[in-house]
Structure 1
Amino acid sequence: MKLRTTLATSALVLGLALQAQAADVPEGVTLADDQTYTFWLLDAIKSMDPQLNTDVEGSDVLRNLFEGLYNEDGNGELVPGVALDHEVSEDGKTYTFNLRDDAKWSNGEPVTAGDFVYAWRRLADPATASEYAWYMELMQVENAPEIIAGEMDPEELGVRAVDDHTLEVKISTPLPYFPQMLVHGSTFPVLQSVIEENGDDWTDAGTLVGNGAYTLTEHQLGERVVMEKTDTYWDADNVVIETLTALTINDINQGLTRYLAGELDRVDIPAGQYPRLAEEYPDQAVSTPYNCSYIYMLNVGEKGPEALKDARVRKALAYAIDRDIIVERILQGGQKPAYNWTHWAIADFERPEVEWADEMDQAQRIEKAKELLEEAGYGPDNPVNLSLQYNTSEDHKKIAIAASQMLKQIGVNITLDNYEWKIHTDRMQNQDFDMARYAWCGDYNEASTYLDLMTSYSGHNNGEFFNDEYDQVMADSKTAENPLEMYQEAERILAEEMPIIPIYHYANVDMINANIEGLPENNVNNTWYGKDIYRTAE
């Protein structure tokens, strides 16, 4: 993502478009009387707290209740949020953000630079126990590693309010993509007084105070989330959709049925049904590249099974899974087979050549897998027995069944374990698994959003893959003139050590009501905002 920059005095000033960034309704369009938008969620949202949420679906909700420094437009370009623009020092290590003076919390209080300072310190503070604390470290915010480790007070974090409308951030290493990282929910401001007054209940409907275009009016865990337009948002006059409703439906096929019955405006298309639906509903079925990768994470830590401590076994498992069958026969929605971690559509990324992907066909991979298992001491008299857990979804189940059958061909016995989302993620965080279905959706459009996850200091390295060489490569990438070379080396290490089994790279495969306009069409992150949407008349 390239942003226009101009040189002014001794600082680099970033100018962003200052026009209203809410719904842009073309002249001549007739709006529907009913300005509502109802979308599908597979799982219950674990937390409405920006500093605690870890889920993509949670992010979709929080992006409407809160607003960070910047937002994204339909092409993935940065546009003003609370920040109008920023300046960068000549050494690239000090960012000064100029905040708008009309941003308000839903209780009418002004949003200030101090609210961002409080939120960022809260994120890094070990007392918060956020899985995303490491994001402050990834952003290279000064003193973040020491604070996260409990060696410094959160007040030492390199962020300060110069005044109510000026936020200064100091980072330890220049990062060209630093502004892109600021659209992530963990960096959103929160109101200290509300949290201190209400404790863990501050995110309840009717209590939560946000600064987004909508306010939370109902949250029935695992059933529905309802958000209503608020007149305190700085651009409320240009927000068209009055009500956003998210319905949690664990059965993806039931979700499609309810979409076709008119209960939903958007739903994921179940595996294998895109070709049919695209023919029957060409104005509603959509498939576009999506910045997410689907993998099986392997528990290679102390609590993991003995077999997975051997890289030969891990590689055998990866080689034996036929991705073409999964993508072409099961999914059929424009997804691509994955032989690496980073999504193919990430800006400025090129996958390095790796032997198992580029020099072998599937038959050769299976033969190599059998050889590797034999070398590791496994065979008919000593089979590898593993469990594969996945969260509730008919699609995940289909893929898991297919993978287990493929692995059986090389003598690996797989037991399938299905858990609801919260239990699934809790087990992963506690290393209570052998193999587990996992997907990562990039927090920004740059390869480090994937590759940093596999470092030893990552808050999401649930398989406990700790590799000094890998850590060093990713550390070197932060100061490399051409980080692509480091990223490719990191991918080669993953291919050699195989702590994860890449399965496929996502596409966004949806049914979308033809009367809904304003959703992003060219944003690989699929970052959407209710304030940009509108419903046209039938």
Structure 2
Amino acid sequence: MHNFKLLPSVLLMTGLYFSVSTFAAQIPAGTQLDPHQELVRQLKDEPASLDPIKSFGLNEAQVLRDLFEGLVNQGADGKIIPGVATAWKTNDNKTWVFTLRQNARWSNGNPVTATDFVYSWQRLVNPANASSFSWFAALSGIQNAQEIIDGKLPPEKLGVEAIDPYTLKVTLNRPVPYFPSMTTNFSLYPVNKPSVEKYGNDWTRVGNLIGNGAFKLAERVVNEKLVLTPNSYYWDNKHTVLKKVTFLPINQESHATKRYQAGDLDITESFPKNMYQKLLRELPGQVFTPDQLGTYYYAFNTQRAPTNDIRVRQALAMTIDKKLIAEKVVGTGEKPAWHFTPEVTAGFQPEKSRQETQTQKELDNKARALLKAAGYGPEKPLKISLLYNSLENNQRIAIAISSVWKKKLGVEVKLVNQEWKTYVDNRNTGNFDVVRASWTGDYNEPSSFLSLLASKHSGNLAKFHHAEYEALLEAASHETGDAARNRYYNQAEKIIAEQAPIVPIYQYTNGRLIKPWLKGYPITNPEDVAYSHTMYIIKKH
């Protein structure tokens, strides 16, 4: 397994920023291309929405990156490169000016302008739209975002302005030196105002959806497939090699692996962890597991009994043998998560946690004492539900951890296994005691993870509220140096360990299977950001 660590995407300096990196399929001289440039990709589940402000995460992001394009994109190494914007500048890390390319086009041929970004970002924070990602605008520091989300100001007061059709000015409420890298997030993609206003909730349907990405939506059969074809108006369409991209929603890793082995898929999003060694033997050169900017964790419902009791949360968290889960239950190079923020995160220098320095036996003894103090024991066993979505890896981990809780603490665990959409509904409404969750960074900086536990963050599944924790994040947001921010971030990590609203379990590797004829997939990208525009298929022998 390879370890990839990046420098901050945007250097702490002022002046003009631009990149000479290209964003296209890089085909070596002499390469023989396959005449059938058709790629079939797996999605872990059916996208909840193709509206950038209504989407939830990775299932949607993989498709949205092909249908839309933001101000900047990411290269294979995770560093930002031009998207709709060709250049960006700042003098104070607080006011940013983006120059847009004049040949950017919507899939109907109309130009993409700064006004489109103003409309789209105002739409994101408008409380009437109830966006699942409105928090990201506030996290990014865009001026007045939180006040607009809270209904205290109109959307027109958002700190974004079209100076002219091809110049976008963004005003932040604090210096954010890495702001351009945050604009790679799909929630900040532009949407086509005429299409949205004409079709309302139906604007994302085939025939209605007008995007500005390298591909357009040609066909969609819910729970079966999404088919994309090149957008002939895309500014770099001449470098798009693929003629067709098909996404297949398959939520069972074993089924996806079988489809891959049968030749139905060119790339998977994952594979069964217990098949790792077998796949290495049978598919040499097709199994990849680089580190990913992501953490697998369990969240505790802090708003209802019994997990509103900190002693219960601490006891449950302490008895999870993270090393065992990472190395034996999962076993494809994952590392135990001693912190919520992954070790590969740019600028993060973690301090050793209490759980990392104690033996599992010591932790188990403390956990038993805590649970006893909370009033639970053989005559009154703790009873909890554990919610997780339907993936084999999730089930194996849930069974392993619930068995440990039963054996060590006498806890009676009800396992609740649900399909993605039902799971998301119950997760978001707090209908659980413990819930499986994961987070992959929206940008390569510790706040991408730690902000998740801020009280107003829609991703705060634990419904955690802690004034000191939020004060630390606020203080960190005003620092421009990595070292100063790192001190605050480590203090925030200590609060997570002490209060146990969540328990980080392991740090992700980006396990997937890739056919030898598929080239251009950015396997080294720690955020797993991939665009079909950079991929191509060589001749199959």
Give the TM-score normalised by the residue count of structure 1: 0.96
- Quote the residue 1:384 is aligned against: 382
Q: Secondary structure at the match of 1:161?
A: strand
Assess, with a 3 A threshold, how the Cα gap between structure 1 residues 317 and 393 changes in structure 2: closer, same or farther. Answer: same
Shift in Å at residue 326 of structure 1? 1.8
Of 477, 502, 505, which residue of structure 2 is paired with 1:503? 505
- Quote the residue 1:34 is aligned against: 36
Assess, with a 3 A threshold, how the Cα gap between structure 1 residues 27 and 15 changes in structure 2: closer, same or farther. Answer: same
Of 53, 56, 65, which residue of structure 2 is paired with 1:54? 56
- What one-letter code is carried by the residue in structure 1 that aligns with 2:16? V
Indicate the percent of aligned positions where both proteins have the same amino acid.
Answer: 38
In structure 2, C-alpha distance between the alignment counterparts of 1:4 and 1:486, rounded to whole Å: 20
1:293 aligns with 2:295: yes
- Quote the residue 1:16 is aligned against: 19
- What one-letter code is carried by the residue in structure 2 that aligns with 1:274? Y
Contact 1:352 1:491 in 2 (8 A): no
**Count of aligned pairs between the two proteins:** 529
Contact 2:67 2:215 in 1 (8 A): yes
- Quote the residue 2:198 is aligned against: 197
- Quote the residue 1:324 is aligned against: 323
Q: Secondary structure at the match of 1:524?
A: coil
1:160 aligns with 2:158: no
Contact 1:6 1:12 in 2 (8 A): no
- What one-letter code is carried by the residue in structure 2 that aligns with 1:129? A
In structure 1, C-alpha distance between the alignment counterparts of 2:273 and 2:158, rounded to whole Å: 45
- Quote the residue 1:461 is aligned against: 460
Q: Which consecutive unaligned segments of at least 5 residues does structure 2 have?
A: 1-6
Shift in Å at residue 277 of structure 1? 1.1
- What one-letter code is carried by the residue in structure 1 that aligns with 2:15? L
Q: What root-mean-square deviation, in Å, do the aligned CA atoms of Structure 1 and Structure 2 show? A: 1.3
Of residues 52-61 and 319-328 in structure 1, the stretch that sits farther from structure 2 once superposed is: 319-328
In structure 2, C-alpha distance between the alignment counterparts of 1:382 and 1:329, rounded to whole Å: 32
Alignment deviations for residues 34-67 of structure 1 (CA, whole Å, 9 cap, x no partner) = 1111111121110100111112120010000000
In structure 2, C-alpha distance between the alignment counterparts of 1:209 and 1:531, rounded to whole Å: 17
Shift in Å at residue 15 of structure 1? 2.1
Of residues 485-494 and 340-349 in structure 1, the stretch that sits farther from structure 2 once superposed is: 340-349
Contact 2:18 2:82 in 1 (8 A): no
Runs of 4+ deviating beyond 4 Å:
2-7
Q: Which consecutive unaligned segments of at least 5 residues does structure 1 have?
A: none
Shift in Å at residue 164 of structure 1? 0.6
1:477 aligns with 2:476: yes
Contact 2:290 2:509 in 1 (8 A): yes
- What one-letter code is carried by the residue in structure 1 that aligns with 2:485? P
Shift in Å at residue 6 of structure 1? 11
- Quote the residue 2:537 is aligned against: 535
Alignment deviations for residues 52-104 of structure 1 (CA, whole Å, 9 cap, x no partner) = 11121200100000000000010011111000011102x32110000000000
Assess, with a 3 A threshold, how the Cα gap between structure 1 residues 2 and 369 changes in structure 2: closer, same or farther. Answer: closer
- Quote the residue 1:64 is aligned against: 66
Q: Secondary structure at the match of 1:225?
A: strand
The 5 A counterparts of 1:26-425 are 26-89=28-91, 91-267=92-268, 268-301=270-303, 304=304, 306-358=305-357, 360-409=358-407, 410-425=409-424
Alignment deviations for residues 198-235 of structure 1 (CA, whole Å, 9 cap, x no partner) = 00000011210000000001122221111111111000
Contact 1:278 1:286 in 2 (8 A): no
Shift in Å at residue 122 of structure 1? 0.4
In structure 2, C-alpha distance between the alignment counterparts of 1:350 and 1:6, rounded to whole Å: 18
Shift in Å at residue 295 of structure 1? 0.7
Give the TM-score normalised by the residue count of structure 2: 0.96
Contact 2:22 2:81 in 1 (8 A): no
Shift in Å at residue 3 of structure 1? 5.7
Contact 2:10 2:178 in 1 (8 A): no
Shift in Å at residue 265 of structure 1? 0.7
